[in-house]
Chains A and B, each alone.
Chain A
Amino acid sequence: MAASISGYTFSSVCFHSANSNSDHEGFLLGEVRQEETVSISDTQISTAELLQVVEIHNHDPCAQLFSFYDYAGKVNEDNLNRILKDRRKSVIGWYRFRRNTQQQMSFREQIIHKQLTQLLGVPDLVFLLFSFISTANSSTHALEYVLFRPNRRYNQRITLTIPNLGNTSQQEYKVSSVPNTSLNYAKVIKEHGAEFFDKDGVMKDIRTIFQVYSALQDKVQAVCGEVEQSERVKEKIQEDVNKLKQQIALRKRKTAEEERRLREAQNAESHPTSEENSEPSETSLLSRVAFHAPSAPERPGTSPNPPSYSDLLSQEDSLLSSSSSPTSAALLPRPQAVGSPGHPTPGPLGMGLGLSLGLGLGLGASSNPVPTPSTAYLGNGDGSSSDSLDRQAAGQEDDDDDDDDDDDDDEDSSEYENLVSEAAHLPMVSASVLAQGRPAALSPDGDARGSQTS
């Protein structure tokens, strides 16, 4: 059992007692509650400890001795009620103060205690004994106090703690759980409480903070929605891209097959053509890789100078069978050389380009066969590397993406010229690649020029 008394109650009792010129007594008001502590340790599953806590909130001093009992120590219930009135139900004990006596319950105190236990119906009624000891020359006075629970057989003395009385430098200031029963306090709080509390008794600050929190939560929810939507869009586009890639691959395979057949057919008739035009026609070759036109594209001129891109463009226009786009130039990718003014904006278009370019040159060759120092590394949004050659090959994929191509058209074709001149700097392209990608008009062994007919 643990017991505590608030500091102000204790000092009030002491004040009343010390000021009386005889023994003094009164009642202790408070509450008794049971505290259950469950402790879990490594060695045991759990142990529950039941602790009875007695809290003394207030006291009711008696005006005089023998006010509720007679000489024989018999308690008079009427007098008791008169003294306690409606506080009777919160009585948890009583106290006595006597100077210069032993810390032991006296004869009459024991008799009264028994009766009070019965009358008040408190089985564990406590008794607080104050004893004031003074030295002979009155130089030192000691106030001793002991809390008894006389109704028990053993362990009759309980330690009484007074919160915040002690060495507070080592302890925190404890807030007592003793309720404040002061009327004045209640009045003031009621008056000024409206500034801090709303009508439900909740602190206003809390509500405000909660509102902020709610707003933040709403915003987060909204952003979540947006993220979800954009994710779905991205998903859809990703699907589309994948589909297109599949189509490209399919087309390439078919084109390659057809070319092979054509070549085989041609080889049976004529000797292999020279490869003079191999270089200059590389560009045209590559740009036509994606085409699956049944007829062989018209061969560019056998002049050593490679045809300008614009010529190619015009030719390719006629080759395009499926598209009905206004200008084929719009469909062609825009190769980027070093120092080129513009750069297609990374986005769906860019991504589309990159991927298709990669695929375009994937026919038996690595997707990046021609990285040269002089060639600008064309970056697109998706990280796949592409170069000028790649870009050119992917002309067909631009069918779906008309928007940006208009912009591309506006740019001059100087870049293409650059590209064309740089075509000569592409030595690493393997002949086999070229052979595969060559238009049908070219001989397989590379003597493209030689086979050109005028």
Chain B
Amino acid sequence: ILYCGFYLWKMNNMSPEVALHRISPELRPLLCSVVRNGRVGLDSTNCLRVTDLKTGCTSLTPGPCCDRFKLHIPYAGETLKWDIIFNARYPELPPDFIFGEDAEFLPEPSELPHLVQWDAGDPECLLQLVKELIQQYHQYQCQRLRESSRLLFEYDSLLEDPNYGRNMEIYAGRKNSWVGDRIVLVCPSFISIMSSLSQDTALDPGEDVALLSVSFEDAEATQVFPKLYLSPSIEHALGGSSALHIPAFPSGGCLIDYVPQVCQLLTNKVQYVIQGYHKRREYIAAFLSHFGMGVVEYDAEGFTKLTLLLMWKDFCFLVHVDLPLYFPRDQPTLTFQSVYHFTNSGQLYSQVQKSYPYSPRWDGNEMAKRAKAYFKSFIPQFQEGAFANGKL
């Protein structure tokens, strides 16, 4: 199964500005809102893309007069390619659509209020219409699922759960291609986490997203492939793709059981990360208060680093503290560095200490105090080593 373009948000063949430039002036505002502000579907990180601008006017008409184009819409792990056809000479008229490969998708016009009351003067009209169409498309896919009762059962059961509600995209795979049925949903608890996270971290809930995509290759659900999609910043914040393993879908299991499992895992991870963030901040704060003027610099955003310049018996040295991601579970790395001595390779002489008296249960103050005590005990040793191995 290929999921292409899912991470690749803001990847356009041509930048929106170029596309808009070629569009007929009367239609430009409509397209503008679609391309610049348009977020449809669950994957709000993936913008709508516009390609293949063509004109319906005679070839002698001076440009810009493009009035028809292809719109790429991410949906349930696929990309829908819909043709939208305007007439530049009659910009007040509503557009027509060709739904690409979904030749049988024929929405009911009465369900498309923005088509029935098309208002070319409203720049948002096209975007709203596209959203309405996607809603209809979603229903169309659900109808197609009637043929495969398994996923439908899953979908219906999830639908009843208020946690998931309507935040789901269904894609009923095609018989002749190797794309199976797929359901994509937003991990519900994540949304609340995200909002809490956003206050503390640099994560933007509007931009970031975590989606669980479950693909059913066959009707008996023996081949089920779940995948977790996170926006890059979240992924990074959670420690990279390798750090996040979701459990395999149990054969014979149900989504209604599995999804909470995954969400819980994710939640735990996020909680942990958030905790770690707070802990780190606490740690740094404590060190700041304990070492005061001795602090050279520290990471004020992620609180992952701290550098101290200390003196003991006229011996100055630097201490670099690196706080790992899963602090306080993992203890910080202390790097002692001499300000006088160099190594053969021209670097300042340093020693790394990874194990020293430490307990994750200590609070920041305690850690600072203990660290101070440790410095005192370790420095003579370091000094000797510096004098012995380093050059001035």
Contacts and interface: CB of A to CB of B under 8 A. Distances in A.
A108 B58 CA distance: 23
B45 interface: no
Interface stretch (B35-43, B49-57, B214-222, B321-329): B49-57
B90 interface: yes
A34 interface: no
Contact of B106 (A98, A111, A141): A111
B98 interface: yes
A21 B61 contact: yes
A107 B90 CA distance: 19
Q: Is the interface of B mostly helix, strand, loop or mixed?
A: loop
Interface in A245-304: none
A454 B88 CA distance: 150
A196 interface: no
Contacts of B103: 104
B346 interface: no
Could you say which of B106, B109, B115 has the most chain A C-beta atoms within 10 Å of its C-beta? B109
A72 B111 CA distance: 10
Given A22-B89, A22-B90, A98-B85, A107 B97 contact: yes
B96 A22 contact: no
A138 interface: yes
Nearest to B56: A99
B97 A106 contact: yes
A99 B110 CA distance: 28
Interface in B50-109: 54-59, 61, 68, 83, 85, 87-90, 93-94, 96-99, 103, 106-107, 109
A65 B90 contact: yes
Contact of B87 (A23, A71, A102, A111): A23
A111 B57 CA distance: 24
Contacts, number: 73
A102 B101 CA distance: 11
A100 interface: yes
Interface string A66-106: 10000111100000000000000000000000111110111
Interface residues of A, number: 27
B244 interface: no
A390 to B, nearest CB: 108
B106 A100 contact: no
A110 interface: yes
A287 to B, nearest CB: 118
Contacts of A101: 54, 56, 68, 83, 85, 98
A72 B132 CA distance: 14
A21 B58 contact: yes
B89 A21 contact: yes
B56 A138 contact: no
B98 A104 contact: yes
Interface in A93-148: 98-102, 104-111, 134, 138, 141
Could you say which of A99, A104, A105, A110 has the most chain B C-beta atoms within 10 Å of its C-beta? A99
B59 A22 contact: no
Nearest to B118: A71
Given A23-B85, A74-B109, A106-B85, A100 B68 contact: yes
B99 A107 contact: yes
B89 A108 contact: no
B311 interface: no
Contacts of A106: 83, 85, 96-98
Contact of A72 (B88, B93, B115): B115
A98 B118 contact: no
B116 interface: yes
A108 B97 CA distance: 7
A73 B116 CA distance: 9
A235 B354 CA distance: 149
A144 to B, nearest CB: 14
Interface string B112-156: 100111100000000000000000000000000000000000000
A106 B87 CA distance: 14
A73 B97 CA distance: 12
Contact of A138 (B59, B94, B112, B118): B59
5 contacts: A23-B56, A72-B116, A98-B56, A106-B83, A108-B97
Interface of B: 54-59, 61, 68, 83, 85, 87-90, 93-94, 96-99, 103, 106-107, 109-110, 112, 115-118
Given A22-B56, A102-B83, 7 more contacts: A18-B58, A22-B88, A66-B93, A98-B56, A98-B85, A101-B85, A106-B96
